[in-house]
Amino acid sequence: MTGKLKAICTLKGHSGIVWNTSWHPKGQMLASCGEDKTIRLWNFKDGDKSTLKCLLADGHQRTVRAIAWSYCGQSLASASFDATIAIWDNKSGQFECNATLEGHENEVKSVAWSRSGSMLATCSRDKSVWVWEVWEDNEYECAAVLNAHSQDVKKVVWHPHEDILASASYDNSVKLYMEDASDKDWTCVGTLSSHTSTVWSLAFDKTGDRIVTSSDDRTLKIWQKYLPGK
């Protein structure tokens, strides 16, 4: 990396901890969420200047822990400690909550859209990972409830090119999931278990052949995919 990074602005408005941020795919808008139960959308259309585009304050009753834009940029998903996921869009001309997903029994910690936009994944303190199918007209249906972890699930991420889902947990492990082509059931197809404490986060590289995991054991681990026989 050449050059240097400098702070160009400070965004203020949240009244508590800011837990998560997500850039819109086109890069001109930023979403933030936090302890104050709100989501704030910031415009970045004038170079270094930013303005508050809108405040979304009526979707959740507790801390908003995570947010994620769909890859097409048309929808924003938010996950909350109130055990729900809210789906927002501005098809009416202003951002509104058009769906609330319920089912988790405890705090929802992470939310992620698949590359195709046809699926949404969530995870929770209730130790479960949910896969939701996205239908037309803002309809969402639970496709799977995955209970592979024995403790709080902290993070979910999708493979960048395939419908493969990964989750990180307080049980020190990472789980990988795929849909069985024969019966359409989602199952755990792999476990990464080298960390000695909570796995807080994980990410695929752009090829999807490597995963990096970060842990409370003060280490990062990089996992490489190898095809059978190699």
Domain span at residue 154 reads 18-224
pLDDT at 3: 80
- pLDDT at position 202 is 98
Determine, yes or no, domain membership for 2: no
| Residue 40 forms part of a structural domain | yes
* pLDDT for residue 162: 95
User: What is the spatial distance between Cα 128 and Cα 102, in angstroms, rounded to a whole number?
Assistant: 13
How high is the pLDDT of residue 171? 98
Burial of 64 (0-12, 13-18, 19+ CB in 10 A): buried
Residue 219 resides in a domain: yes
Using the structure block, give the residue that is written with the tokens 């796995």: 199
**Residue 208: predicted pLDDT:** 97
The domain total for the chain is 1
pLDDT at 160: 96
What are the 10-residue block averages of pLDDT along the chain, 230 residues in total?
Answer: 82 96 93 97 76 91 97 95 96 87 98 95 99 90 98 98 97 97 92 98 97 98 84
List the CATH number of the domain containing 219: 2.130.10.10
Which residues sit opposite 32 in a β-bridge?
A: 21, 40
Rounded to the nearest 5 degrees, what angle is found at the Cα of 136, between the Cα atoms of 66 and 21? 15
* Residue 203 to residue 220: CA distance in whole angstroms: 11
Q: Which of 36, 74, 27 is nearest to 55 (CA)?
A: 36
Token pair 């969402």 is found at 140
In a domain, 182, yes or no: yes
CA angle 166, 152, 186 (to 5 degrees): 40
Residue 90: what pLDDT?
A: 83
Please state, as a whole number, how many other Cβ atoms lie within 10 Å of the Cβ of residue 172. Answer: 20
21, 67 Cβ separation under 8 angstroms? yes
Whether residue 169 lies inside any domain: the answer is: yes
